[in-house]
Amino acid sequence: MTQDDEAANEFPMSLELPSRPRRNRRTPAIRSMVRETQLEIGQLIYPLFLHADQEDTPIAAMPGQTRWSVKGLVKEVKRVSKLGIDKIVIFPKIDESLKTENGDEAMNPEGLIPEAIQRIKDACPDTCVITDIALDPYNSDGHDGIVSEEGEILNDITVAVLCEQALAHAAAGADIVAPSDMMDGRVGQIRAALDEDGYTDVSIMAYTAKYASAFYGPFRGALDSAPKANAYKPVPKDKRTYQMDPANVREALRELELDEAEGADIVMVKPAGPYLDVIRTLRENTTLPVAAYHVSGEYLMIKSAAAAGWLDERAAVLEMLLGIRRAGADVILTYFAPQVAEWLSDR
Ligand code: PBG
């Protein structure tokens, strides 16, 4: 026996395999034919920050993101609309002097957000404007709800303020209001308030399963909206009495049932990456569109690793967002939206 024959005996040239999955991966053309999930520009929502100042200020904790002036914001919305990004959600940094225990400024029909909505709608009428409904940017205690003297987050009075906030945004021309506060019953109350005032066309994107997550850190820095200690009352340091426990998924179904019954048009899971199973669970249990929020900490993880040269930013972002789509999200809120739009159009 020659040396060659011996090798052939040990390693046969051809296995008799009835199925060879690699055939479906052989060329780009074949791979694109059998690809199960697509990531499209139309599925992205771009979150933007604004403040009342005249300057556009880079946000240190979120490299690549800016706290816009109203004027700068309008310019940015125009810029991204040319890339195909036509859905935005806006978050305000409110002047310290306007913050109160009851978050009154949230209800001001002439406040920063109503003004911004009008200016965006004037400049880009086709852009879908989504607003955040919650008190944390307006509340001197830094919570999404009103904090009592005893340090309790008061559900029902907060919901009344949230309804007024939603009405102020609807009156200014918001297309969708997105309650991110996690108070009980707020979706139904906001729906009723909108309908009663004739805003039956304004949609509700409910933060259905919003978890008490460490990944919101950079966002709270950007808005200066973290819970604040207070000498006069015991303000809770975290949001665990209203945001969900990261250990729970059945509880997300309970929230889903309520938000559906209360009239939500879109349901959301937040954060996205660490909660892919929750996205999948909601997808399998509702006919409503499911959104997922790729939050500030998830953004920063990729940004900082890429800046250090440790990750290929484009490849990592596209894979992460595709994974969120594969888990079952129809819509993704992501700070990477404009960049992704550019990447997707030069594939
Ligand atoms: C608060 C709100 C938060 C985010 C969106 N709305 C922070 C929080 O709940 O403390 C986080 C978004 C992000 O981290 O990107 N209503």
Tell me what pLDDT residue 221 has. 81
Ligand 1 center–CA 35 separation, angstroms:
33
Q: Is the pTM of this model over 0.75?
A: yes
Please tell me the predicted confidence (pLDDT) of residue 149: 94
Separation of CA 329 and ligand 1 centre (Å): 19
Instruction: Take atom 3 of ligand 1 and give the residue whose Cα is closest.
Output: 216
The CA distance from 270 to 292, in Å, is: 6
Once rounded to an integer, what is the mean pLDDT over residues 57-63?
94
- In this prediction, residue 98 carries a pLDDT of 97
Place 224 in a pLDDT band, splitting at 50, 70 and 90: confident
Atom of ligand 1 minimally distant from the CA of 225: 10
Is the shortest distance between the CB of 295 and ligand 1 below 6 Å? yes
The yes-or-no answer on residue 210 being catalytic is yes
The residue annotated as part of the active site, out of 93, 121, 270, 303, is 270
What was the pLDDT predicted at 2? 55
296 lines ligand 1 (CB under 6 A): yes
- Residue matched to tokens 């939050």: 295
pLDDT, tens digit, 9 for 90 and up, residues 22-37: 999 999 999 999 999 9
Closest C-alpha residue for ligand 1 atom 14? 216
pLDDT at 4: 57
Which of 314, 301, 302, 310 shows the shortest CA–CA distance to 341? Answer: 314
pLDDT in tens, 3-17: 555 555 677 788 999
Please report the pLDDT score of residue 271 as a whole number.
98
| Residue range 177-220, pLDDT digits in tens | 999 999 999 999 999 999 999 999 999 999 999 999 999 988 98
Q: Which atom of ligand 1 is nearest to the CA of 243?
A: 9
The reply to whether ligand 1 has any atom less than 6 angstroms from the CB of 212 is no
pLDDT band at 107 (very low <50, low <70, confident <90, very high): very high
How would you class 86 by CB atoms within 10 Å of its CB: exposed for 0-12, middle for 13-18, buried for 19 or more?
A: middle
**Both tokens of residue 25?**
């991966």
Residue nearest to atom 8 of ligand 1 (CA): 216
What is the pLDDT of the chain when averaged over all its residues?
95
Q: Tell me the CA–centroid distance for residue 271 and ligand 1, in Å.
A: 9
